[in-house]
Amino acid sequence: MDIVYIRDYKIETVIGMFQWERRIKQTLSLDLEMAWDIRPAAASDAIHDALDYRAVAVRLKSHVETAEFQLVETLAESIWTILRDEFHVPWLRLRVGKPGAVRGSFEVGVLIERGSRPG
């Protein structure tokens, strides 16, 4: 199985369940690992045969910036839905980190794995 990845993608959004969180934007950090057979793109050297990570990043930035979920769990599932339905990603490992959410920790968040691993 080949992996296309995006590491430490920072996006600002409104997220959280407390009133003060609903009035500010917070920076989230995303790590994505997406299953993708890179052999067709390697053979053709053409973007239309690749998983366009720039297009993925632009779409997720637009989605996350305008979303106003309370839970990172909900946001993570919405990201999986977009990648599955719009980009036809068969498998995803996603980490959504919320820095500063717990005093004394660098970051908290969720790590999900969805879909079927090809191969």
C-alpha atoms less than 13 angstroms from C-alpha of 49 in its C-beta half-sphere: 10
Residue 28 to residue 26: CA distance in whole angstroms: 6
> How is residue 32 written in tokens?
């994505």
Tokens of 39: 């052999």
Six-digit token string for 53: 């990570």
- Is 61 in the active site? no
Catalytic residue among 10, 25, 61, 98: 98
Q: Which residues pair with 54 in a beta bridge?
A: none
Look at residue 64 and give its three-state secondary structure.
Answer: helix
**Positions marked active-site:** 98
